[in-house]
Structure 1
Amino acid sequence: MSDGATIWADSMIAAALAAIDPVVASVLLRAGAGPVREHWLDLVRELMPASTVIRKLPPSISDDRLLGGLDLAATLQSGCPVLQHGLLAEADGGVLIAVMAERIAPSTIAHLTAALDTGTVSIERDGMSLRVPSRFGLIALDEGIGDERVSPALADRLACHLDLGTVARADLGESLFKSSDIAAARALLPQIRLSDDAIAALTTTACALGIDSLRAPLLACRVARIAAALDGETDVAEPHIACAARLVLAPRATRLPAMEDDNESNEAPESQNESAESEQDDRSNDGPLEDRVLDAAQAAIPADLLKRLQDERAMRMRSSSASKQGTAQKAPKRGRPIGSRRGEWRAGARLNVLETLRAAAPWQPLRRRTQRSDKSGRLIVHKDDIRITRFKQRSGTTTIFVVDASGSSALQRLAEVKGAVELLLAECYIRRDEVALIAFRGKSAELLLPPTRSLTRAKRSLAALPGGGGTPLSAAIFAATELALAVKAKGQAPTIVLMTDGRANVARDGVGGRGEAEAEALVAARQLALTGIPVVLVDSSPRPQDKAAQLAGAMQARYVALPHADAARLSQAVMAQAGRG
């Protein structure tokens, strides 16, 4: 049997387990949209009882739709608070299918995990305080590319982890189970007994695989009971324990059992798996149960486990400073009103009472004739009458000045650059933009002024800027990138104005060497270009330099060469290139 066929066989078992007890045997399915994934989802739907409620959870769902809250139209019509159930309450006793689960917002993850842990949904909003039952099974569809993964907090609560990325259509076999098997297993499940030896085998296997979560062995024990019920057995046997180890523990492994420490990972993963397989063949079938279960789990561990773990660690370290770069800015809820629109009254939205009454007023005679039982004369408001105030809010802008104060710049145009920066600071002050100042000289770059609106502080920091020393250009670009990403994460729009002659001679570690320093500066410039942050590079040398132009091209910046401009002309050119003139 091919690897793809083996994985598909285990995935069919996972589908049956999820159909028997979806609350316990929840599934994290990593697979792209296609016939393989859809075939597996169809299999789950066929095995579940016809009365099972199945709902889809989109990644961009709002808190109102997820949790529920006050139904404003029904409340106005009835004169008393009317609760509108959310998706979590609607899925009580059923199954939620989370599409593109790797892109679910952190707030939604928090609500999901709380509901999975407690089996209830707490509603503390709109003047209401109540708990609604919400016990559901969850199938999270992970469609991430590369290092994109479902939130660890959510993945930890899902029992079976499946990866169908290597399964082809030719590997798809017929279903191993029928609806009658699922019904019989559900009836038998309360009678299943789990021995202490089985619990010890699963917990020992979890420790050997480097799993530090306490939920993993607990979920494995519960899955083993469901597997025994699926086989029609009342006692959990070794095949059921091995099945739980393959589906629950093996995908969570952080090391191979033969390894004593993560640092012993220099050996190729393939050779380590070969040695592990040879050790497995040498073991006797009469050995301890823990060893046999560990062998079953080890056989299901992906061959490239170690390489994948190392790549994920390296990616997390590289992207830690830019993890919030793609945070979407929500619609403004304050600012200058620009009218109203039809919509739902959700949390954070501002109800436009006057426009709502205007929309409902023309329909009152017709609605009163239709609803003859209402003799109170109360205003009848329907959902379509609700009007929400729209706002227009100007997003803040932060200009980050990166000034070359090295010896080459100080001997040439540092005083003129200071004058240009002062003019730019004054214009930023008029627009109430924030400014920041980074200077680089010697062996490092220094943040002289964090983002501020104080013109006095900015001028004082600029006036006290000394000149001289080497040109650590790469350190300056990295510092500007980190600061700009932090500004962007706060919902503001950063712009970098880099003033340099482009002649780097100090690497980021503070060691001299023009060749290495220039190569490092180009790497930093290309990384800055990937962020999409607008950059203006002002060539401060007396004559235009090819290196400065090359650097501007690498960071996709606007290049301004003003060999004989004074401070006023330099300021005008920068403002024009930045699109603010």
Structure 2
Amino acid sequence: LPFIELPLNTTEDALLGGVDLEETVRRGERVFQPGILARAHGGVVYIDEVNLLNPEILSLLFEVQSRGENLIEREGMSLKHPSNFAIVASMNPEEGDLSSHFLDRFGMCVGFENLKGAERLRVLKRAMVEQREGYEKRDERIRKKIILAKKLKERVSFSDELKEKAAELCLGAMVAGHRADIALIKAAHAYAAFCGEEEVAERHLLKVLPLVLLHRRRLLEHYEQEQIEKPQREEERDKKEDGKAPGHSRQDRPGGQEPAAPSLSPGGGREEVFEVGEAFRVRRLAFRKDRRERVSLGRRTKTRFSGKGGRYVRSLMRKREKDIALDATLRAAAPWQLLRGRKDAVIVKEEDLRFKERERKLKHLVIFVVDGSGSMGANRRMVATKGAIQSLLLDCYQKRDKISLIVFRRDRAEVVLPPTSSVELAARRLKELPVGGKTPLGAGLLAAYNLIKQVRLKYPETRFLVVLVSDGRANQGVSGLDVWEEIKKCSMLLREVREADCIVVDTEDKSGFLRTDLARRVASLLGARYFTMPDLRAEELAWMVAGSLSPERAWGL
């Protein structure tokens, strides 16, 4: 039984297979070199720390497993070979998350906790040489039991009533899709055979149910949170339409308590914490591709990749270790074959060698610079603003970006969340964010610039995205200069950072008669892309595109 341990630095060529360059040059024809998936046929692929594996490699692995065969369509080759295998993986959630899509592809999950007392001692004894013989006998009994279960499995029956029960259990757990249902039925079927029974019973379903739902619990918790918050949002909306304050009435509050009044900040202003508004799907944000080579991976912006993975975009004469572009090399060698006296195989010399330039997507460090001044509380604008930021945070999670949160209010700017990959932590910080005081916009821009400088010293390859969320009504300086002169100087500092892109999200209410459009002025100083909050919505972008493709526009009328 093949047992393949997949290293975290696996490349696409090593996984799927590719051209055997040495044999190809020697024979004068393309020779395929099988990859890891060919060797894993009929066995097990084990991935340690699967959450640290390149998502593109993991996606290819699951695609081949679901098909049961590996299809090769690259570099002029077209072939396929069977590749049936099981995937076993381990991970430490503290070192990084795995996307819900990938988690759902695993049928079952077992959680391990720190062992204490007798259990820890038992594991220690098992690892000792003098105790190993007894455990080997036990393992041998389990192995024989598994062999018998594999023979019995074909005779095990599964009633339609129990299949309906399995579907009800998964529906009750609010699991999306059918993978959980299928995994539950297969697991119960196998467990019944392991127990030596020829019919699946309800106890077999219930025994394996926690294993099927454990890694899908995060999706369930998110759904439950949405179900709790949705009635609250609807109630607030109804009361607002009735002309009432959005708080609860006295008789509805437990113990007749009064709602918490806005607190006083140390600076003397009033502070208030607003809830997070409704999230939405964000439009696609694309940024310029620079010319720097990187090794970091993500899903945001294309960049040159210094490793062997990624998309082959062109050939170079500059030497890269073991990443020869076969097509370009053969083209360079072809005109000289007659002079070199070629008979059968192509004669390739060192000066003919060409090397691949590859391209992949990278992640950004997204720095949210959020206006926490009192003007954001007018007309409860902070509710919608927090909803827009929450939507951008979810987009960052999907693109594998790192995030940081800077808040400016009163007379200073503060980094309330240092760079992190945890969107959940950022969401908690956002929920607790108060508003109150003046608007030191220049301090927020300067704090973003200082954070970029610190990160660049440690990680010089980092690409940055600064997202300024404000109405632009700056009224507080921190340097003694005129407020807008200070903003201009801080904006110039950010514009000089070549690795940084900027976005300004204008939170001003554009439906009223009085509009200042000061955020647009800040965007002009930063050289940033400008959005109002409705512009961020993907459905708004779809409407704009549909309008631009109307029949009248198409015919130039």
Q: TM-score range by the shorter chain?
A: 0.3 to 0.5
- Find the structure with the greater CA-based Rg: 1
TM-score (norm 2): 0.47
TM-score (norm 1): 0.45
